[in-house]
Structure formats: C-alpha cells, structure tokens
C-alpha cells in the first residue's frame, strides 16, 4: 500500500512571484492573463537564472575541448541528461537524445527508423487528432517508402474510437504513433492500453508527449512505449531543446539521421563509423545552454510535484467549463472537464476565432486562435478555426473569471455591430 498522501496543493499566487513576465500590464491597464500555455509556457527566475549562469560562468562547447570550461559545460549537459532520464523513468541515459523539440524528435524516427525499416505496403497507424508534427513526417515517409497511413477515428466528443483499434492494427502495421494528450481537445488518451495492444499486434509505438510531459507524470518503463517525444518550451524550459526517448536496443540498431560532428567514432574520406548512443543522434553542436536550463525546469516541476500540477489544472479546467458552459453562444469542443487536461477549446457563435482572440487580447487575455496545427481534426469537427485557452501551474481561478468577462465583452462588441 502506498504511504504517499494526497498531492500537495499548489499556491499559484506564490508561484507567480517566480515568473517576471506574469506581472506585465498591457494596453494601458490590463494585467496579462496568459492562457496560451499549450503553445509555449513562461519561465521562472530559476530557469532564466540557469541560462544566465550558464552563459556567465560555464559556457563552452561540449564533448570537444579538454579544457576546464568545456569539462564544466559537458558535465552540466550530461547531468541534465540524467535528470531527464529520471523525469521519465527511462532505464539509462543513453536512451535520452537532446533534439530541438518534439517535431525534430518525431522526424528523427521517421527518417532513421522509417527509412531503414519500412517497405511498400507497410502501415503506420496515427489518429485523426494528431498535431501536424505527428502527421506530416509520416506522410513524407509514406511517400518515400510507399507505406500506407491509417488513422484511428474519434467520437464527436473527442475520444479515440478504441473499438476500431484491433481492426486497424494489421499484420502490416509497423508503427503506432499517437499523441498522449490532444493539444486541442485536451483528451487524455489511454496510451498504456493502446501500447499494449499495438505490441500484441507486433507494432512499435511512438508517443507524442508534447502536451503530457509538462502536465502529468510520465513513466516510460510503465508505459512500455518504444519512442517518446517532448519539447522543453512547453514545460517552463527554453525554446530550442526537446527530447527523444528511444529504447536502447532499438536506437542502437538504427542508422543515424543527421550526419556531422559528434555523431561519429571515426571518419575517412569515403566513409564513417557512427558513435555509440546517445551521441549517434546528436550531430553537430547541441542546444547546450537550453538543455541545461531545461534541467532547471525539471527541478522546478519536481519540486512542486507533477501530480499537484495536474490537480491544480483539473480544478482550473472544471471551473472554466462551468463558467463557459453558463455563457450562451459558447460551445466547448472535446470531452467533459473530468476527462481531460488543462485545455479548453471553444467556438463563439457568430464570431470568428481570430476576432475572439483579438477582442480577448484587448482585455489582456492571451489565447490562441486558428487550427492549432491540427487541420484534419478541425475538418473532422466541422469547424475551420477555434479559440483555445490552455492553463498551467501559475494560472488562477480569478484569471478564468477574467476570461469569462472578456468573452462576454467580445459578445457585447459583436452585438453592437
Ligand atoms: N505535438 C503536439 C501535441 C503539440 O502540441 C506540439 C506543439 N504545439 C507539437 C507536437 C510540436 O512541438 P514543437 O513545435 O515544440 O516541435
């Protein structure tokens, strides 16, 4: 029996003290209400401080020099790899590859694994709710290799149709690549069950955890997935760094994707031998300082506890649903509040999403409008554009009230026209 008690509750007001940008006042007198966290999150002083300290005291290229600064830089960079390993409970640091972000991580697998393993007629199973980053690399791969793409459909309320999984998993399915949490609907997908069923069918599994890693605990050992991708900038870290996790025995057998410095053991004029993991997949100078600052972001999240972060977001999401459902003309897309992460995507009757975002911005409220890099999902839902409010650990219930007020104001402005 677990002796752990309930997760500590977060105090978003205390947390906000760590985030200088959150005290911004815009358009004269409007306090910034930042609800665009699914696109990118803000940075606490601890992360900004780690970046500054790196550049002021420790910076040099890694794995190259034998001088003092390079050793410091290399040590910090490799210590961060260990932090990431522990954060997702990978078996070894060799399984952690630093990349520029989720998109680069997925493309690495599409190029390295896909080009080496797919033959014409092989199938890749995706879903209708995927981000373009988990669609286009596979479309490009399918074009190169003659592979076939299949897509798990969704229900009208934004759940994957699992009943069709067995039918879609055929003996030709080589890979299932799925988002763990939808960046539009907020749906938390049953990735553990899907991974198990995909493995039973003989397919490998890649999880797009871009919206998961910042918000919920991740455990690749428990999940059993073969590859996993996420981005630093969605979890308090800087832009320019992300992670590709891959099971060591699979990554070990793959050819490198990008060629250049660092990823080799030796080079002759007409050939090379690749380096061991993880260097094999880190060609060129990596995102040194951003990676180290991502380590500071992980420390920050670990300090709060991701379970507590999640509970806080559940509370915000419930509150936002209750509030928005009480406003006539607001339609929320996706599952009920209880079934999703901190993302509330909505349509305002008679007002285009871009106008909504613009009018909300005039009230200081930052949301995202458009198709959020999920055009096929929007096609499926029968809408061209939506507005998305997405929450994080520093958001407050009062800010959701401000979102509600800003929506009422937008409706008022449109009624007057
Ligand atoms: N997948 C999902 C689910 C996302 O939300 C995003 C970012 N919006 C990405 C992939 C791409 O991440 P990045 O732009 O950091 O590569």
pLDDT band at 3 (very low <50, low <70, confident <90, very high): very low
The ligand 1 atom at the shortest distance from the C-alpha of residue 100 is: 16
Residue 349 shares a structural domain with residue 268 = no
Residue 3 lies in a domain: no
Question: Taking residues 258-263, what's their average pLDDT?
Answer: 97
pLDDT at 65: 75
The ligand 1 atom at the shortest distance from the C-alpha of residue 133 is: 10
In this structure, the residue with its CA closest to atom 8 of ligand 1 is: 39
Residue 247 lies in a domain: yes
Residue 187 shares a structural domain with residue 320 = no
pLDDT digits (tens, 9 = 90+) for 16-35: 999 999 999 999 999 999 99
Task: Answer yes or no: 373 catalytic.
Answer: yes
Residue 385 lies in a domain: yes
Residue 203 shares a structural domain with residue 225 = yes
Which residue of 101, 185, 210 sits with most ligand 1 atoms within 8 Å of its CB, as the best mutation to test the pocket? 210
pLDDT digits (tens, 9 = 90+) for 290-308: 999 999 999 999 999 999 9
Residue 246 shares a structural domain with residue 154 = yes
Domain that residue 16 falls in: 12-39+306-416
Residue 368 shares a structural domain with residue 339 = yes
pLDDT digits (tens, 9 = 90+) for 164-174: 999 999 999 99
pLDDT at 64: 76
Residue 377 shares a structural domain with residue 326 = yes
pLDDT digits (tens, 9 = 90+) for 66-91: 899 999 999 999 999 999 999 999 99
Which residue of 39, 100, 106, 131 sits with most ligand 1 atoms within 8 Å of its CB, as the best mutation to test the pocket? 131
> Please, what is the average pLDDT of the chain?
96
Residue 2 lies in a domain: no
pLDDT at 346: 98
The ligand 1 atom at the shortest distance from the C-alpha of residue 182 is: 3
Residue 187 shares a structural domain with residue 137 = yes
Q: How far is the CA of 209 from the centre of ligand 1 (A)?
A: 9
pLDDT at 6: 53
pLDDT of residue 392 exceeding 90, the answer is yes
Residue 216 shares a structural domain with residue 78 = yes
Q: How far is the CA of 28 from the centre of ligand 1 (A)?
A: 33
CATH number at residue 317: 3.90.1150.10
Residue 292 lies in a domain: yes
Distance CA(360)–CA(66), nearest Å, equals: 53
Residue 159 shares a structural domain with residue 182 = yes
Q: How far is the CA of 229 from the centre of ligand 1 (A)?
A: 9
Residue 67 lies in a domain: yes
- 244, 276, 303 — which closes off a domain? 303
Which of 304, 314, 373, 383 is labelled catalytic?
373
Three-state secondary structure along the chain? CCCCCCCCCCCHHHHHCCCHHHHCEECCCEECEECECCCCCCCCHHHHHHHHHHHHHHCCCCCCCCCHHHHHHHHHHHHHHHHHHHHHCCCCHHHEEEECCHHHHHHHHHHHHHHHHCCCCCEEEEECCCCHHHCHHHHHHHHHHCCEEEEECECCCCCECHHHHHHHCCCCEEEEEEECECCCCCEECCHHHHHHHHHHCCCEEEEECCCCCCCCCCCHHHHCCCEEEEEHHHCCCCCCCEEEEECHHHHHHCCCCCCCCCCEEEECCCCEEECCCCHHHCCCCCCHHHHHHHHHHHHHHHHHCHHHHHHHHHHHHHHHHHHHHCCCCEEECCCCHHHECCEEEEEECCECHHHHHHHHHHCCEECEEECCCCHHHHHHHCCCCEEEEECCCCCCHHHHHHHHHHHHHHHHHHHHC
Residue 294 shares a structural domain with residue 352 = no
In this structure, the residue with its CA closest to atom 4 of ligand 1 is: 210
pLDDT at 63: 87
pLDDT band at 5 (very low <50, low <70, confident <90, very high): low
Residue 251 lies in a domain: yes
pLDDT digits (tens, 9 = 90+) for 207-256: 999 999 999 999 999 999 999 999 999 999 999 999 999 999 999 999 99
The ligand 1 atom at the shortest distance from the C-alpha of residue 179 is: 3
- 240, 269, 303 — which closes off a domain? 303
CATH number at residue 129: 3.40.640.10
The tally of domains found in the chain comes to 2
Q: Which residues line ligand 1 (CB under 6 A)?
A: 38, 101-103, 131, 133-134, 179, 183, 208, 210-211, 231, 242, 373
pLDDT at 187: 98
- 303, 337, 352 — which closes off a domain? 303
Which residue of 126, 133, 228, 388 sits with most ligand 1 atoms within 8 Å of its CB, as the best mutation to test the pocket? 133
pLDDT at 2: 39
pLDDT of residue 148 exceeding 90, the answer is yes
pLDDT of residue 336 exceeding 60, the answer is yes
Residue 286 shares a structural domain with residue 388 = no
In this structure, the residue with its CA closest to atom 5 of ligand 1 is: 183
Residue 6 lies in a domain: no
Residue 161 shares a structural domain with residue 252 = yes
């Amino acid at each position: 029996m677990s002796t752990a008690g309930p997760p500590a509750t977060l105090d978003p007001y205390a947390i906000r003290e760590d985030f200088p940008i959150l005290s911004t006042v815009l358009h004269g007198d409007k306090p910034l209400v930042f609800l665009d966290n699914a696109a990118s999150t803000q940075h606490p002083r601890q992360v900004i401080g780690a970046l500054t300290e790196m550049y002021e005291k420790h910076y040099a290229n890694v794995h190259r020099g034998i001088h003092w600064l390079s050793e410091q830089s290399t040590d910090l960079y490799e210590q961060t790899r260990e932090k990431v390993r522990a954060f997702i409970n990978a078996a070894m640091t060799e399984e952690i590859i630093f990349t520029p972000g989720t998109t680069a991580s997925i493309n690495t697998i599409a190029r390295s694994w896909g080009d080496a393993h797919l033959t014409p007629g092989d199938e890749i199973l995706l879903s209708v709710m995927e981000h373009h980053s988990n669609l286009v690399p596979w479309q490009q791969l399918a074009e190169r290799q003659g592979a076939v793409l299949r897509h798990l459909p969704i229900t009208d309320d934004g759940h994957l149709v699992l009943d069709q999984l067995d039918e879609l998993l055929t003996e030709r399915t080589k890979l299932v690549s799925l988002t763990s949490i939808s960046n539009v609907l907020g749906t938390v997908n049953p990735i553990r069950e899907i991974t198990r069923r995909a493995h039973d069918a003989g397919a490998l599994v890649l999880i797009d955890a871009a919206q998961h890693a910042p918000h919920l605990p991740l455990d690749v050992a428990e999940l059993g997935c073969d590859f996993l991708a996420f981005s630093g900038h969605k979890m308090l870290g800087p832009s320019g760094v992300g992670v590709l996790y891959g099971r060591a025995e699979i990554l070990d057998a793959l050819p490198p994707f990008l060629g250049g410095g660092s990823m080799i053991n030796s080079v002759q004029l007409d050939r090379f031998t690749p380096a061991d993991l993880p260097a094999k997949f880190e060609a060129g100078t990596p995102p040194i300082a951003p990676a180290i600052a991502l380590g500071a972001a992980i420390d920050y999240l670990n300090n709060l506890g991701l379970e507590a972060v999640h509970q806080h977001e559940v509370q915000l999401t419930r509150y936002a649903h209750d509030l928005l459902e009480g406003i006539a003309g607001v339609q929320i897309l996706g599952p009920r509040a209880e079934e999703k992460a901190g993302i509330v995507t909505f349509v305002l009757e008679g007002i285009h999403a871009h106008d909504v975002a613009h009018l909300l911005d005039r009230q200081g409220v930052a949301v995202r409008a458009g198709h959020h890099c999920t055009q096929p999902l929007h096609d499926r839902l029968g809408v061209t554009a939506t507005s998305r409010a997405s929450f994080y650990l520093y958001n407050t219930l009062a800010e959701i009230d401000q979102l509600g007020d800003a929506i009422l104001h937008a409706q008022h402005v449109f009624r007057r026209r």
